Structure 1
Amino acid sequence: MKVAVLGAGAIGAYVGAALHRAGADVHLIARGPHLAAMRQHGVRVLSPRGDFTAHPHCTDDPGEVGPADYVLLGLKANAYGACGPLIAPLLHERTAVVAAQNGIPWWYFHRHGGPYDGHRLESVDPGGAVSEVLAPERAIGCVVYAATELQSPGVVRHLEGTRFSVGEPDRSLSPRCQDLSEAMRTGGLKCPVEPELRGDIWVKLLGNISFNPISALSRATMRQMCLHAGTRRVIETMMRETLSVAEALGCPVGVSVERRLAGAERVGDHRTSTLQDLERGKPLELDVLLAAVVELAEITGVEVPTLRTVHAISDLLALRSAA
């Protein structure tokens, strides 16, 4: 099994190191000091489950890697539309693209069935630019429940969780999903194949759609947002509106708002990825989290006034931070 990780940051390098440990032919594509450190010392993983070091091939040139069986996308979703020159050398006729992203993916309605089958969401696939680069039939969905961070170049600190749920857009238990799942498990990760992966997408999105933009607007940690009574009420409302959209799409979510909030509070003084991006001057990945659900509310006729308000304010923040 040949695996290319395009955008081997904290999550990508962690998965790549695990797959390399399982015996897969792994190629990490990165840049800068992180790439230099991985080339010299390998990927060092620091984890409560045991530290280890892996030495997969590392490069900044996808052409050096060539076609792979699986391409794991570690890029931010807002970079997908422009990744054509990077991903093209990695593709052969049957290459699967595993998008380890938060939010609503560009393939969401591919082989969805029902009245929205094949519908394209402008917020996540503007003008079809993402689908043109990443054909939906290549997509394997992936919902990440692991938390990692780059402690320093080449050093990944694994904080918690090892689950990477995967699934086909058409809900089939395909050989390519099963083979990937087996390799991930051999490498020490949990990787269930979920026929109804869209349910997992919405469960994770409940937290991302609310905590991520609010954290960027308030500069607050997870715990601080949960303990502030007014902010907690806003987050509860955002979650309930999100659940209404999911239900309108025929995808009931088997988790309560109260349980989701309790889990977030237990995380403690963690800064969301959106807040970290803001502090580092990076683009904010809000379209797939918030704009997409507002667009889904429009096509399903669901009223989401709080989501619309937070979207308007956070979108202005994103525009100003990018200026």
Structure 2
Amino acid sequence: MGLFSPKTASYDVDQVMARVKDLCQVWGEHGVVYKFAEDIQKSRWAKLVWNASFNTVSVVSGGNDTQEMLKNPNCKALIRSMMVEVYKLGETVTGGELPALNGRTGPDHVIEDTETRTVTVIPSMLMDFRGKRPMEHAVILRNPIELAKKHGVEVPHLETVYALLTMVEKGYMQ
């Protein structure tokens, strides 16, 4: 929980932040697990680092889980390149450094965290692909690509994977 873009808010940020923290405390006292973020938008971008790369590449690589993708040096390099683009774009859009994701910052640390997990991750987009359901490519890639154009940030890997991903989905949704 937290505030969305508190630097540009049109309300009393300190007052609302205090109320959100109070709510978190009450929930915590009743066993609800939560995460508090000073700026939800930055946290969303940090999460997108993983989702925009692993989710999408799992589908365009032919239906591979995280461990299968990371065993292939070319696929791993693509994932890393996509993460670099998301970090750069997220920091441009939010005006500052993105927070750690699972205690890890930067593409190499996020990849290392994924490689060292004891359980293989099957990304949600891969589950949609396998179930022949629509995928969330608009929020995971299209919207960030549109923001990249607006902010003058080049994201060629995101654009390429988006083009392929939408073609894959079109193929099975007909």
TM-score, normalised via structure 2 length:
0.82
Query: Aligned partners of 2:86 and 2:171: how far apart in 1?
Result: 26
What secondary structure, in the 3-state scheme, does the structure 1 residue paired with 2:47 have? Answer: helix
Aligned partner (choices 106, 124, 128) of residue 277 of structure 1: 128
Q: Paired residue for 1:210? A: 53
CA-based RMSD: 1.8
Residue 321 to residue 251, structure 1, CA distance change in 2 (3 Å):
farther
> 1:206-258, CA deviations, whole angstroms, 9 ceiling, x for partnerless residues?
10000001111221111111121000000010011111112222132241111
Q: Paired residue for 1:167? A: 2
> 1:162-206, CA deviations, whole angstroms, 9 ceiling, x for partnerless residues?
xxxx1122533052x335423432343432332222221111111
Q: Paired residue for 2:115? A: 265
Residue 188 to residue 266, structure 1, CA distance change in 2 (3 Å):
farther
Q: Paired residue for 2:25? A: 182
Q: How many residue pairs end up in the alignment?
A: 157
- Segments of 5+ residues of structure 1 without an aligned counterpart are 1-165
Q: Paired residue for 1:228? A: 72
Query: Aligned partners of 2:128 and 2:96: how far apart in 1?
Result: 30
Check whether the contact 1:168–1:174 (CA below 8 A) recurs between aligned residues: no
Check whether the contact 2:46–2:87 (CA below 8 A) recurs between aligned residues: no
1:319 aligns with 2:162: no
Query: Aligned partners of 2:74 and 2:82: how far apart in 1?
Result: 13
Query: Aligned partners of 1:287 and 1:319: how far apart in 2?
Result: 14
Which has the larger Rg?
Answer: 1
**Runs ≥4 residues deviating over 4 A:** none
Query: Aligned partners of 1:296 and 1:170: how far apart in 2?
Result: 16
Query: Aligned partners of 2:58 and 2:80: how far apart in 1?
Result: 14
Q: Paired residue for 1:295? A: 146
Query: Aligned partners of 2:146 and 2:96: how far apart in 1?
Result: 16
TM-score, normalised via structure 1 length:
0.46
More helix as a share of residues: 2
More strand as a share of residues: 1
Greater relative contact order (CA < 8 Å, ≥ 6 in sequence): 2
Q: Paired residue for 1:82? A: none
- Segments of 5+ residues of structure 2 without an aligned counterpart are 7-12, 100-104
What secondary structure, in the 3-state scheme, does the structure 2 residue paired with 1:302 have? Answer: coil
Q: How does 1:12-23 map to 2 (within 5 A)?
A: none
Aligned partner (choices 134, 137, 154) of residue 286 of structure 1: 137
